[in-house]
A and B are shown apart, each in its own frame.
Chain A
Amino acid sequence: MESAALLPDVAPALASPSSALPPRAEGTGELGMFDLILRGQAHLTEVLRREKDLPVTLQKLLVLSLLGLGVHGLVVGFAAEALGAQLFEGAHGHATLWMPIAFELAFVGALCVCLPSFYFYTQLSGLDASFRLVTAQALRAQATTAVLLLGVTPFYAALVLAGALGLLQNTNQVILAGLVIPFVVGLFGMHALYKGFCDLARVLPVTHQRRGGFLRRMVLCWAVVYTAVAPVALYRIGEALSHRI
């Protein structure tokens, strides 16, 4: 067959650069990363496994996380000012200005605080993942949540608009919804995290065998500790910033 005869001639020419060059970080620019998070979670796992590229990948995930959280925080802050509602006890100042910062610092800061716990839970589950990989996985969940938040925010903005036009009477609930949405959307981030660990479990060394469903329990532990820390961080940082901005 002609095609079969063609292969031996072409294969060496293609194989040589492949063996000489390091793995490429194809399609992982900020826009590429956005696309990977939305449509290529399996490929994203492969990207995260390239330890050499992890610092750059982490920066891209962080940028997306800050972008999504900042935009949502901006809308929630604007909603609080437009609807004349108080975000929480003792909150002052221009919420439109401080809320995006509070969202970014609180959610990403909570991630920083929880990292040692995440690493501990991962090791306890039997997966021998490096601290770098655990960090990247945590940011992957955060970035997934942030990207999905960008999709949800227009709907929330419509809700705020309805409140501003008087179609909704209880404006406090609109604000509450804005504060709760990141946690609801965060469930999708947790799902992405779980799928990522399912893929990684096939290649990572296992230090000790655990009974079935250990990945679910591990991801649940991650979610519980993060959900406990993040609201407290948001409240404290928001309170501190509202007195200054």
Chain B
Amino acid sequence: MGLFGTAIIYAILGLVVASATALGEAATRPSAGRVIFLFTVGAVFWPLFAPMLLGGRGGAPAGDGAKGEGDERIRAAEADMLAALAKVKGGVAGEAMAPEAAKVRDLASGLRAMAARRLEIEEALRAPGLDTAAIEAQLAEVTARGGTESDPRAQSLRARLRNIERLRALRGRTGDDLERSLFKMEEITSQMLLLKFAGRPEAEVAELIDGIAGSVEGVTEALFAIG
């Protein structure tokens, strides 16, 4: 295939990607100029636009809505906190806050691990062997057949039920801890915004920053203690 043939295939693919890119923007009611721009650059430089189209706009894997939602909230909290850090840049606050950016990222990584752990527990609980209704039916059947309290089969089934309850409690606690950590992050973010806009004297600002740094560390330590 020569240069001409390659160019035709490239152009066809370009037109497809350009159309998809322009259609993807349709919801935001773009101006005619923007549509023309998107269509032109989308057709000519389609290899740059294709990954954006194929990857989806939300960035969450298909069929993994819960994970996407959880990750999205953590990412939002992290981005808000880093944006607040950037806002207090300059002056004493910026200097004191610079090392905290790494702590914020560590904290967000920890929260993601926590969200992943909760999802794993949920997936485990969906396994057929951990179906409470089925186990209770089996237990009733064993009892109906004359099984006593000390029957090893009944004991085994009861132990499974207890384990399921513990797993559920663990999932609930992990979810609560995750939510508490996210609320704490958002609280710290608001404190940083307050620093920016309160117009406090430098000494007072420095004191507040120490407190905020302590809060970030506190959340991180609590997270690792749970994990």
Contacts and interface: CB of A to CB of B under 8 A. Distances in A.
Contact of B77 (A12, A19, A66): A19
Given A11-B190, A43-B86, A59-B38, A112 B47 contact: yes
B29 interface: no
Interface stretch (B125-133, B151-159, B163-171, B180-188): B180-188
B105 interface: yes
A50 interface: yes
A162 B86 CA distance: 45
Contacts of B48: 58, 62, 108, 111-112, 115, 135, 139
Nearest to B21: A55
Contact of A11 (B75, B191, B198): B191
B190 A55 contact: no
A182 B55 CA distance: 31
Given A18-B190, A111-B48, A23 B75 contact: yes
Nearest to B87: A26
B186 A203 contact: no
B109 interface: yes
Contacts of A55: 24, 49, 52, 57
B76 A22 contact: yes
B223 interface: no
A46 B55 contact: no
A3 B204 contact: yes
Contacts of A50: 75, 79
Contact of B83 (A14, A24, A58, A112): A24
A157 interface: no
B162 interface: no
Contacts of A131: 51, 54-55
A14 B182 CA distance: 14
A15 B189 contact: yes
- Majority SS of interface residues in chain A? helix
A15 B51 contact: no
Contacts, number: 113
Given A3-B204, A203-B109, A11 B55 contact: no
Contact of B41 (A3, A12, A51, A62): A62
Nearest to A43: B86
Interface in B49-79: 49, 51-52, 54-55, 57-59, 72-73, 75-77, 79
Nearest to B189: A18
Contacts of A202: 102, 105
A91 B51 CA distance: 35
A23 B187 CA distance: 16
Given A7-B194, A10-B194, A22-B72, A46 B59 contact: no
A109 B44 CA distance: 9
B208 interface: yes
Contacts of A69: none
Contacts of B44: 105
Given A19-B73, A112-B47, A115-B47, A11 B79 contact: no
A161 interface: no
Nearest to B208: A3
B80 interface: yes
Interface of B: 24, 38, 41, 44-49, 51-52, 54-55, 57-59, 72-73, 75-77, 79-80, 82-83, 86, 102, 105, 108-109, 182-183, 186-187, 189-191, 193-194, 198, 200, 204, 208, 211
Instruction: Name the 6 nearest CB pairs between A and B, nearest first.
Output: A51-B59, A14-B190, A23-B79, A112-B47, A15-B186, A131-B51
